[in-house]
């Protein structure tokens, strides 16, 4: 089983990212289970979402406390919450940021790091700092757990509010192409 | 053709409604049921559900509308939870003795106060004595399938009672996984003719007194009232048989098999067991598997049908073990314990020998019940076999 925890701020689409990825992984024949975290819902407040996938049916419907992968949709969020809490070793960290790898204090649990200026790309494509689908492209590039094709299929049945499907497909592609992947630790 | 989608529990419930082809739906949104109401509205707008959708001003009207529709011969659906159910209570109480086979999703939510908008089974448990059938689901697939089965159960001539299909607010309402939507032709063949108002109707061609004035000290009034009460109780007892038959038929025709009343998991050679209800069950089964690997002879008993209470099925299950730990996602204030725990205690009276039973309460107001919690529950229950019996209840998320 592989466990992913999404971190974002209310409005950035962390929950939807988790749902899209669930649909994409299901396209590839994986069993999936995704749930949002349950906290006070308001724009800008830290939110998280959880996704598990496996080759066999997953029974438990619980939060994820020991993720193999952390996807952070917001550049300032790591200052507000400990996004690495409980992270498994040999983990992957996907981060929206303008910074380079040298500017981060990378935890020992991280072995793969994917960095991308999600905000910059989002402002160009959508005109608002909504980074969720961009960071799914970054996740695909960094970890290889899902293909771009499957992500596009996963988005087909999603009712997007802030941009059309085509723009989100462009967002996924640009995230994939504009990612710096680092092997660390 | 059946098809597989990835969706949350609220959407799975809405797809169950699509396949059951209701004539009339009325909804009023309330968290965490709201997206179910939205899916239903969307499906009606898209023509997937050929029903009249009535937007009303509150839950009291929702159920009142459906009562009228059902009396006029319509197959009906709605969904609510928490405070919405509280506001609905007056017509809710009236529905079972009217013997109206209305199907309603309860997307279970904890009670206010203090303020909270999250899951817990306090709402459903609070109405457990009102005369509605209650079935609790473990997976999104079971939610969809049980919604369809609920119509066949509710509309059975020996039952004719309203039915709540319960799934946990949050973990199941928003939890996403694969779900197979069955073929419409298969569902039509399974459900057969709808059967809603042969016995009581608002129909100019068959004028009859509905909901008559009964009771009082006069003998005729008292006996008529007793007849209504006994009839509802009899319908509930008949439902135990019908629920089992309908689940068996669903398995045979659709290919998905569920334990209709009580599921026994790794119980046959177990020394002790934990009892679960609803969405917590998956983590409970995982914890049982881990304990088994460590040599613990533990099993799990899942409650699917809570009303009518499946006395014989539960008695058969608990008779296989020497101790039980019962996990509730709600509180019985009157007993300082969990409601399911109290029911299991009542079951144990039917056994000759006494066994230890422990009440655990967890997952209130959206809290998680993890595998680690279940491992502790298993360990605590195991210790009762060595006469270490804790003062209950044990509050898991304290």
- Domains of chain B plus CATH, in order, are 3-199+240-253 (3.40.50.970), 262-395 (3.40.50.920)
Q: Does A161 touch chain B (CB under 8 A)?
A: no
Q: What's the whole-number mean pLDDT along residues B182-197?
A: 97
Chain A partners within 8 Å of B43 (Cβ): none
Q: What is the ipTM of this complex?
A: 0.96
Q: Does B388 touch chain A (CB under 8 A)?
A: no
Confidence of residue A38 (pLDDT cuts 50, 70, 90): confident
- Over residues A78-123, the pLDDT tens digits come to 999 999 999 999 999 999 999 999 999 999 999 999 999 999 999 9
Confidence of residue A163 (pLDDT cuts 50, 70, 90): confident
The pLDDT, as a whole number, for residue A43 is 82
Q: Does A23 touch chain B (CB under 8 A)?
A: yes
Q: CB B175 to CB A63 under 8 A?
A: no
pLDDT at B138 over 80: yes
The pLDDT, as a whole number, for residue A160 is 84
Q: How far from chain centre, in Å, is Cα B31?
A: 18
Nearest Cα neighbor of B156 from B119, B185, B128, B194 is B194
Q: B61 CA to chain A: closest CA distance, Å? A: 29
Please identify among residues 28-67 of chain A the ones whose CB lies closer than 8 Å to any CB of chain B.
31-36, 38, 58-63, 65
A55, A30 in Cβ contact below 8 A?
Answer: yes
d(CA A63, CA A66): 9
- Domains of chain A plus CATH, in order, are 2-183 (3.40.920.10)
Q: CB A22 to CB B119 under 8 A?
A: no
Edge-to-edge strands, sheet with A46-54 = A180-183, A110-116, A91-96, A69-72, A2-9, A46-54, A31-36, B176-181, B3-8
Nearest Cα neighbor of B155 from B59, B20, B54 is B20
Q: B148 CA to chain A: closest CA distance, Å? A: 22
Strands B176-181 and A46-54, bridge-based pairing: unpaired
- Mean pLDDT, chain B, rounded, equals 97
Residue of B nearest to A38 (CA): B366
Other Cβ atoms closer than 10 A to B317? 28
Q: B151 CA to chain A: closest CA distance, Å? A: 27
pTM of the model: 0.97
The pLDDT, as a whole number, for residue B39 is 97
Please identify among residues 206-265 of chain B the ones whose CB lies closer than 8 Å to any CB of chain A.
none
The pLDDT, as a whole number, for residue B91 is 98
Residues 6+ apart with CB under 8 A from A115: A95, A97, A99, A100, A101, A138, A179, A180, A182
Other Cβ atoms closer than 10 A to A161? 8
d(CA A124, CA A130): 11
Q: CB B6 to CB A32 under 8 A?
A: yes
Which residue in B118, B174, B371 is closest to A60 by CB distance? B371
Q: What would the two tokens of residue B286 be?
A: 């995982």
The pLDDT, as a whole number, for residue B151 is 98
Q: What's the whole-number mean pLDDT along residues B104-109?
A: 98
Q: How far from chain centre, in Å, is Cα B46?
A: 29
């Amino acid at each position: 089983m592989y466990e992913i925890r999404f971190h974002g701020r209310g409005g950035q689409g962390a929950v939807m990212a988790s749902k899209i990825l669930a649909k994409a992984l299901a396209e590839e024949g994986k069993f999936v289970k995704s749930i949002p975290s349950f906290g006070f819902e308001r724009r800008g407040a830290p939110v998280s979402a959880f996704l598990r996938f496996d080759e066999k049916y997953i029974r438990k419907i619980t939060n994820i406390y020991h993720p193999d992968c952390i996807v952070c949709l917001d550049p300032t969020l790591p200052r507000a919450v400990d996004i690495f809490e409980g992270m498994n070793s040999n983990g992957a960290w996907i981060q929206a940021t303008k910074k380079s790898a040298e500017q981060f204090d990378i935890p020992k649990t991280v072995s793969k790091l994917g960095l991308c200026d999600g905000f910059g790309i989002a402002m160009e494509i959508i005109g608002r700092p909504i980074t969720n689908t961009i960071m799914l492209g970054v996740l695909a590039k960094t970890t290889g757990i899902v293909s771009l094709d499957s992500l596009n299929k996963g988005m087909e049945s999603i009712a997007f509010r802030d941009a059309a499907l085509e723009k989100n497909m462009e967002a996924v592609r640009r995230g994939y192409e504009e990612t710096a992947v680092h092997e660390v630790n | 053709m059946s098809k597989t989608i990835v969706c949350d529990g609220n959407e799975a419930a809405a797809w169950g409604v699509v396949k059951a082809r209701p004539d009339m739906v009325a909804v009023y949104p309330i968290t965490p049921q709201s997206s179910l109401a939205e899916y239903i509205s969307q499906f009606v707008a898209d023509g997937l559900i050929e029903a009249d959708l009535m937007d009303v001003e509150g839950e009291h009207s929702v159920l009142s509308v459906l009562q009228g529709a059902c009396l006029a011969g319509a197959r009906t659906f709605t969904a609510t939870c928490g405070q919405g159910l509280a506001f609905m209570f007056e017509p809710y109480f009236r529905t079972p003795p009217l013997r109206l086979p209305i199907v309603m999703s309860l997307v279970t939510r904890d009670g206010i106060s203090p303020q909270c908008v999250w899951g817990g089974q306090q709402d459903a448990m609070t109405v457990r004595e009102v005369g509605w059938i209650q079935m609790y689901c473990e997976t999104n697939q079971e939610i969809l399938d049980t919604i369809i089965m609920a119509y066949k159960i509710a509309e059975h001539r020996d039952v004719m009672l309203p039915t709540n299909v319960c799934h946990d607010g949050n973990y199941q309402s928003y939890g996403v996984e694969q779900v197979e939507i069955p073929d419409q032709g298969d569902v039509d063949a399974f459900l057969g003719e709808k059967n809603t108002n042969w016995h009581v109707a608002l129909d100019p061609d068959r004028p009859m007194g509905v909901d008559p004035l009964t009771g009082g000290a006069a003998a005729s009034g008292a006996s008529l009232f007793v007849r209504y009460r006994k009839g509802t109780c009899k319908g509930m007892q008949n439902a135990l048989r019908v629920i089992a038959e309908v689940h068996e038929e669903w398995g045979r025709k659709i290919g998905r098999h569920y334990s209709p009343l009580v599921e026994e998991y790794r119980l046959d050679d177990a020394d002790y067991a934990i009892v679960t209800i609803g969405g917590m069950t998956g983590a409970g089964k995982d914890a049982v598997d881990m304990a088994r690997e460590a040599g613990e002879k533990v099993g799990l008993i899942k409650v699917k049908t809570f009303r009518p209470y499946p006395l014989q099925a539960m008695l058969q299950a608990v008779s296989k073990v020497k101790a039980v730990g019962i996990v509730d996602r709600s509180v019985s204030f009157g007993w300082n314990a969990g409601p399911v725990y109290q029911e299991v205690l009542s079951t144990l009276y039917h056994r000759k020998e006494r066994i230890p039973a422990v009440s655990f309460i967890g997952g209130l107001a959206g809290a998680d019940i993890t595998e680690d919690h279940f491992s502790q529950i298993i360990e605590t229950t195991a210790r009762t076999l060595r006469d270490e019996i804790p003062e209950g209840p044990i509050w898991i998320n304290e």
